[in-house]
Structure 1
Amino acid sequence: MSRIVIFGAGGRGGRRAVAEAVSRGHQVTAAVRDPRRHKDLAGTDVTLVAADVTVADDVAKAAAGHDAAISSVYRADLPALEYYPAAAHALIDGLGEAGVTRLVVVGVGSALEISPGVAFHDQPGWPSAHREFSLGHTAELEVLRASGGELDWVIIAPPPAIIDEHAERTGEYRSGDHRVLPRAEDAGPFSYADLAVALVDEIERPGHSREMVAVDH
């Protein structure tokens, strides 16, 4: 059993990560900006705390005494190119202060490559708002890549498509590297439930280090 702090625990991916970690017997700290909006998260194996992932002191306080961290964060009210790098810097500094050395981050599939040096979001006609969001995640990746110290991080990127919020957990997925994984034409949407499986697997049995990794069916 590990103690895992999950930043962005109130979101779709975060909630699934909380449920997956608890189902495996882990103790979870659910870190959210406004605990009043997410009171239902608190439970026997879940401690609900307030934390802003862009503030290193908040990260350090929430992460103290934990074995690993998951970041599944999102802000609609801030530019992605500012928010995600700021979160990365605060996670690096805050987790370092707390002595937490394993970080698993939820990425986006549109930041994965479709050919050498060309990301999915670089395709002609990709909506500018979606591209800006994806570029924010790319900037987060660059901050993590430039970090030194003891933090062993990995970004888990689901396929560049709508992620199913309601699909049941299968417990099965494929993983690759920094490139979009090929999919069958009739492949259904990847689920948040199986994304959560991949996140917690990387804490229980770390298989990747300091890289972005694609996952899919």
Structure 2
Amino acid sequence: MSRIIIFGAGGRAGRRVVGEAVDRGHLVTAVVRDLDRARHSGLAGVTVLSGDVTSSDSVAELAAGHDAAISVAARLDVPSTEFFADAARALVDGLGRARTGRLVTLGIGSMLETAPGVRVLDDPAFPAPAREFSLGHVAELEVLRTAGAGLDWVMLAPPPTMLDETAERTGRYRIGGTAVLGNEDGAAAFSYADLAVALVDEAVRPGRRGELVAVG
């Protein structure tokens, strides 16, 4: 059993990550911005707290005593590059102070490559608003890459398509490199439920370190 802190626990990905971790018997701290909208209150094994993932002091205080952290937090009301870079810096500093050694963070599929050195977001036809949001995750990745050896981290990027919100958990997924994973003929869309499986797996049984990897 591990103690896992989950930032962004109130979102579509976060709710499923909390459920996946709890179902496996882990103790979970679910961090949300608005306690009044939290959906995890009263769930056995879950402590729901309000916190700010862009504040290293908040991260350090909340993460103390935890074995691993998962960040699936996002904001749409502030510039993407500002939020994700600030969050990465706060996680690096705060988790270091809390002595929480493992971080799994959620990237975005548009960061992945369609050819060596060519990312999905580099396509001239890629929508400008989506590109701007994607660049926030790129900024986050750069902060993590320059963090040094103090934090054991990995960033998982799902396919650059809409994830299935209703599909049930299969427990199956693939891990790749920095390229978009090819989809097998007739394969179902990747689901939030199975994304949660991958995120929790990497938190409690680290397989990849210090890199961006595709999951699908």
**1:71-150, aligned counterparts within 5 Å?**
71-150=71-150
Q: Mind listing any 5+ residue stretches in structure 2 that lack a counterpart?
A: none
Q: How far is the alpha carbon of 1:189 from its aligned partner?
A: 1.6
Distance 1:184 1:198 in 2: 19
1:66 maps to 2:91: no
- The answer (yes or no) to whether the contact 2:153–2:211 under 8 Å persists in 1 is yes
Instruction: Tell me which residue corresponds to 1:194.
Output: 194
Distance 1:117 1:50 in 2: 39
Distance 2:45 2:204 in 1: 17
Query: What is the TM-score of this pair, normalised by structure 2?
Result: 0.97
Instruction: Tell me which residue corresponds to 1:209.
Output: 209
Distance 2:212 2:138 in 1: 10
Aligned-partner SS, 2:134: helix
1:170 maps to 2:170: yes
Distance 1:40 1:140 in 2: 27
Aligned residues: 216
Distance 1:175 1:22 in 2: 23
Q: Mind listing any 5+ residue stretches in structure 1 that lack a counterpart?
A: none
Instruction: Tell me which residue corresponds to 1:13.
Output: 13
Q: How far is the alpha carbon of 1:117 from its aligned partner?
A: 1.4
- The answer (yes or no) to whether the contact 2:11–2:73 under 8 Å persists in 1 is yes
- The answer (yes or no) to whether the contact 1:30–1:41 under 8 Å persists in 2 is no
- The answer (yes or no) to whether the contact 1:6–1:14 under 8 Å persists in 2 is yes
Instruction: Tell me which residue corresponds to 1:22.
Output: 22
Deviations 1:70-105 (A, max 9, x none): 000111101111110010000001001100010000
Q: How far is the alpha carbon of 1:124 from its aligned partner?
A: 2.1
**Cα RMSD for the two superposed structures:** 1.1
- The answer (yes or no) to whether the contact 1:5–1:69 under 8 Å persists in 2 is yes
Deviations 1:114-164 (A, max 9, x none): 112111111121100001111110110000000014210000110000011
Distance 2:61 2:137 in 1: 24
- The answer (yes or no) to whether the contact 2:68–2:204 under 8 Å persists in 1 is no
Q: How far is the alpha carbon of 1:43 from its aligned partner?
A: 2.1
Counterpart residue type for residue 93 of structure 1: D
Instruction: Tell me which residue corresponds to 2:160.
Output: 160
